[in-house]
Amino acid sequence: MKYQAPVDDMMFLIEEWLGIERLTGLPGFEDLDSDALRFMLEEAGRFCASELLPINATGDAVGAVLDSGEVRTPPGFREAYRKFVEGGWTSIDSDPEYGGQGLPRLLQFMVDEMLAACNLAFKLYTELSHGAGHLVAASASEDLRRRYLPNMIAGRWTGTMCLTEPHCGTDLGLLNTRATPQPDGSYRINGTKIFITSGDHDLTENIVHLVLARVDGAPAGSHGISTFLVPRNHVREDGSVGERNSVKTGSLEHKMGIRGSATAMLHFEDATGYLVGEENRGLVAMFTMMNIERITVGIQGLGIAEIACQNALDYACERLQSRAPEPRPDPSKRADPLVYHPEIRRMLLRMRSQIEGGRALAIYTALHTDLMHRAPSPEERKGAADTVALLTPIVKSYLSDLAVTSSLSAQQVFGGHGYIREWGMEQLVRDSRITPIYEGTNEVQALDLVTRKLSLDGGRLVDAEFSRWARFLEAARKDRELEGIIGPAAAAFERLADATGCMRQRVLEDDAAARGAATEFQRLFALTTVAILWAQVVAAISGKQGEIYERKRKLARFYMSHVLPETIALHKVITEGAEDLAEFDAASLTGQVRA
């Protein structure tokens, strides 16, 4: 496979659409400019393409291995990780007080896209450390921060998130892992966690586990959960790494994809842990990490979709197959490149229009993560936090779904060559399939959107976003250059607004009907959001001439005419399909009914 980091498109969105000053005007980012941002993105792209992509297939073929209680990462991973740390890629947006670079989270997310595109399995060794570091920074005591954060940020130690148990997934209120207070202020942790990404490996000398557990005597359910920092190895008073804590790797999962990533079952057997935050307030602390990871998983999907599309396009430009319809590129030839066949071109354009629209969604959300922390006024920070909260399930679900559909489409473009290992498409299909599942399945994201975000604070989050959209659409109707773009976007917005009213009423009157349409509603919300963002991008370049501007306008119009019409069917299912769904109970669904 090949990969060219989409730095030009990233910078286009920042400079031509959002405006670089929205970033550089924030406290702490005054010294950042377009040249510096481009340089860092180009360096990240070079590292990912030259160091991580070449070991991606090997990582998939060999996988992570558990041997005599020790986990070995695939060939090349340790050397690549050493270079990753030396390049400073572990500390991009971390607090300078603990050794971080203090750069925008927007930059972190763009680098995340490149990492995921080139080697998702490798990325996962670094990704949970990033979220774990932010959790420790936000909620841990100063002593824990001083003891653990510098090494985590520097990449000398990595971190994990230990939530899931054999009997307990999304419903964390069912977890059984116990925490027993000790006289010295520590806790003894006992329990088993599964599906722990990077739960054990040989890349670093220590691993910092963030573990959800229930303190002895705590209330049942989610209100009795606490968060604990449990190091794989004890840390001595001088900061050096000591003997092994009572954390054992029981097994590594044998997975469909991301095989180079060590997904572990961990046994905590009287392991020493330290409380992070307050007792029985663990989910509040853990959601700092979980919300970062949900956005990041969406961006993983964007990266996979990008590399799939790039390679499908390259193959389509080279592979000769039959004669294309007129006008043919060379009438004297017996066959034409696949890209000249309309069906292949349509597949490629569906990918490309959604990828670039999805990148606008990712960058828009990423900018607001910086605004929510650094905007000058409390009102601005609150408004940005609302936007991030509303769009988190959209970013996670839309972009992870896009990873799967784009990988499958790319595989289809390759035909039989897409089905064999040599070209890499079948690995992308397998790797991408995890993204709609982990960090809360996309169905869970839909329930979050419908049952929480629509009604949160009287519906403030949605109403504020819809008001901004309405003002933009009204102003943009006057621009003739936006014909074919504003009309479809506005129509989709009307359908979404109507469906939103319907769903809000159902949440109050028929919870089952609301939940039954949640995934369709989330998809409608996502497609409409991307349409609005495409319209904003095109409005921002109105009047500008040049190949890049015309290409953007063409892609936007294609999205409106070939992707957005899906919202018509979604609206109908949401508003009219509740009764038909309600007619089926478990018995009638399985056919176990008597005549």
DSSP string, 247-285: EEEEEE---SS-TTS-EEEEEEEEEEEEEESSTT-HHHH
Say how far residue 478 (Cα) sits from the centre of its chain: 36
Q: How many angstroms separate the CA atoms of 384 and 377, rounded?
A: 11
SS3 state at 411: helix
Catalytic residue annotation: 439
Asked whether the beta carbons of 277 and 213 are under 8 A apart, the reply is: no
Over residues 473-485, the pLDDT tens digits come to 999 998 988 989 9
Residue 586: per-residue pLDDT: 76
Q: How many angstroms separate the CA atoms of 336 and 317, rounded?
A: 9
Residue 526: per-residue pLDDT: 98
- The dihedrals phi and psi of 504, each to the nearest 5 degrees, come to -60, -40
Instruction: Output the DSSP codes for 396-410.
Output: HHHHHHHHHHHHHHH
CATH domain 7-139 topology: Butyryl-Coa Dehydrogenase, subunit A; domain 1 (1.10.540)
Give the burial class of 490: count Cβ atoms within 10 A of its Cβ; 0-12 exposed, 13-18 middle, 19 or more buried.
buried
Over residues 84-133, the pLDDT tens digits come to 999 999 999 999 999 999 999 999 999 999 999 999 999 999 999 999 99
Q: Helix count (H) and strand count (E) of the chain?
A: 21, 11
SS3 state at 31: coil
Nearest to 417 by CA among 270, 498, 319: 319
Query: Token pair for residue 268?
Result: 């905590």
Asked whether the beta carbons of 135 and 94 are under 8 A apart, the reply is: no
Nearest to 247 by CA among 206, 202, 218: 206
Alpha-helical (H) ranges within 51-204 are 56-62, 77-86, 105-139, 142-154
Q: How many angstroms separate the CA atoms of 291 and 440, rounded?
A: 10
- The dihedrals phi and psi of 402, each to the nearest 5 degrees, come to -65, -35
pLDDT at 595 exceeding the cut of 60: no
| Distance set, CA 185 to CA 207, 245, 255, 276, 313 (Å) | 21, 17, 39, 12, 59
pLDDT class for 286, splitting at 50, 70, 90?
confident
pLDDT class for 249, splitting at 50, 70, 90?
very high
pLDDT at 523 exceeding the cut of 90: yes
Over residues 184-211, the pLDDT tens digits come to 999 999 999 999 999 999 999 999 999 9
Nearest to 304 by CA among 124, 77, 118, 434: 118
Please compute the mean of the pLDDT values over residues 376-401 and round it to a whole number.
97
DSSP label at 100? -
Please compute the mean of the pLDDT values over residues 343-367 and round it to a whole number.
98
Provide the pairing of β-strand 206-215 with 178-181. parallel
pLDDT at 425 exceeding the cut of 60: yes
Over residues 256-285, the pLDDT tens digits come to 999 999 999 999 999 999 999 999 999 888
Residue 563: per-residue pLDDT: 98
Residue 550: per-residue pLDDT: 97
Q: How many angstroms separate the CA atoms of 489 and 532, rounded?
A: 6
Asked whether the beta carbons of 187 and 236 are under 8 A apart, the reply is: no
Element (H, E) at 8: helix 7-12
Residue 208: per-residue pLDDT: 98
Give the burial class of 115: count Cβ atoms within 10 A of its Cβ; 0-12 exposed, 13-18 middle, 19 or more buried.
buried
SS3 state at 378: helix
- The dihedrals phi and psi of 435, each to the nearest 5 degrees, come to -65, -35
Query: Token pair for residue 290?
Result: 């979980």
Neighbours of 434 (CB within 10 A): 24
Over residues 33-78, the pLDDT tens digits come to 999 999 999 999 999 999 999 999 999 999 999 999 899 999 999 9
CATH class belonging to 158-280: mainly beta
Query: Token pair for residue 22?
Result: 């929205």
pLDDT at 253 exceeding the cut of 80: yes
Instruction: Output the DSSP codes for 302-336.
Output: HHHHHHHHHHHHHHHHH-B-SPPSSSPS-TTSS--
pLDDT, averaged across the chain: 96
Burial string for 451-467 (b: 16+ CB within 10 Å, else e) reads: bebbbeeeeebbeebbe
Please compute the mean of the pLDDT values over residues 365-392 and round it to a whole number.
97
Element (H, E) at 477: none
pLDDT class for 222, splitting at 50, 70, 90?
confident
SS3 state at 287: helix
User: pTM here?
Assistant: 0.97
Query: Token pair for residue 188?
Result: 């003894």
Q: Tell me the domain boundaries of the chain.
A: 7-139, 158-280, 452-582
